[in-house]
């Protein structure tokens, strides 16, 4: 699988995952929470969990970034092998980071935080690599 395929197919798959999660959350949790929030503020606060919205937003946001990077991959001036590693790091990080955030709604232990930190670290480092590659290409 080429780096561009990983980013493109991975990005659209993550976007679909994020949308499906958002749709599920809207239908089965959010509307009921909105209804409840008008009658009882305290129960509304318990039901409306910011983390759920963060998961939906981050999965789709990172997915769009993957697709943009797939489209502009020709502009990144790095060897193919490194580009492939960056693409895998970006995809795995983009999948893991919101998953770690989602896991925090089930458990407050160290594992969910570790997953979220690992995911965000992978995305940040890979993106920094992309910036370097882009600068190399522009200087070339």
Partner 1 sequence: MATPEPLIASAPLDSEGFARLSARRLLTLAGIGMILAGMIFGDIFAVFVLHQNAAHVGGSLASAAQAAADGDVAAVASHFKNTGAFLENRGTKVDTHVHLIAFGYLALLLALVQPWVKFAEASRRRLAWLLVFGAVLLPVGVFLIHYVGLAHSPLRTIGWASIFADLGGLLVLVATIGYLVGIGRHFLLRQAFQPDKLLRDRSTAARWLLAGGLCLILAGFVHGAYYAASDLYRHEEADYKILSQMSSAAAAHNQAQINQSMTDYGQLQGDKAVKIAAHAHIIEFGLLAMLLAFFQPYVQLSEIWKVRWAGVLLCGSVLLPVCVLLEMRYGLLAGGIADIGGLLVIVALLAMWIGTLRYTGSVDAMTSGAQP
Q: Which residues bind partner 1 (CB under 8 A)?
A: 4-5, 8-9, 12-13, 15-16, 19-20, 22-23, 26-27, 31-32, 34-35, 37-42, 44-45, 57, 60-61, 64-65, 67-68, 71-72, 74-75, 116, 120-121, 123-124, 127-128, 130-131, 134-135, 138
DSSP-assigned states of every residue in 64-129: HHHHHHHHTGGG--S-HHHHHHHHHHHHHHHHHHHHHHHHTTT--SHHHHHHHHHHHHHHHHHHHH
In whole angstroms, the minimum distance from the beta carbon of 48 to partner 1 comes to 8
Q: How far is the CB of 108 from partner 1 (least distance, A)?
A: 10
SS3 140: coil
Nearer residue to partner 1 within complex by CB, 42 or 79:
42
Q: Which is nearer to partner 1, 54 or 85 (CB)?
A: 54
Tokens found for residue 47? 């039901």
CB of 81 to partner 1, least distance (A): 19
Q: Which helix (DSSP H) or strand (DSSP E) does residue 16 occupy?
A: helix 3-25
């Amino acid at each position: 699988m080429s780096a561009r395929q990983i980013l493109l197919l991975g990005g659209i798959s993550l976007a679909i995952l994020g949308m499906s999660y958002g749709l599920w959350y809207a239908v089965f949790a959010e509307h009921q929470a909105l209804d409840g929030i008008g009658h009882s503020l305290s129960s509304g606060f318990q039901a409306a969990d910011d983390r759920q919205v963060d998961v939906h937003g981050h999965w789709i946001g990172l997915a769009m970034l993957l697709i943009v990077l797939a489209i502009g991959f020709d502009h990144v001036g790095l060897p193919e092998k490194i580009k492939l590693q960056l693409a895998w790091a970006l995809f795995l990080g983009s999948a893991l980071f919101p998953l770690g955030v989602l896991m925090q709604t089930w458990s407050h232990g160290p594992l969910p935080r570790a997953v979220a930190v690992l995911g965000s670290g992978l995305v940040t480092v890979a993106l920094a690599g992309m910036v370097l590659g882009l600068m190399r290409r522009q200087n070339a």
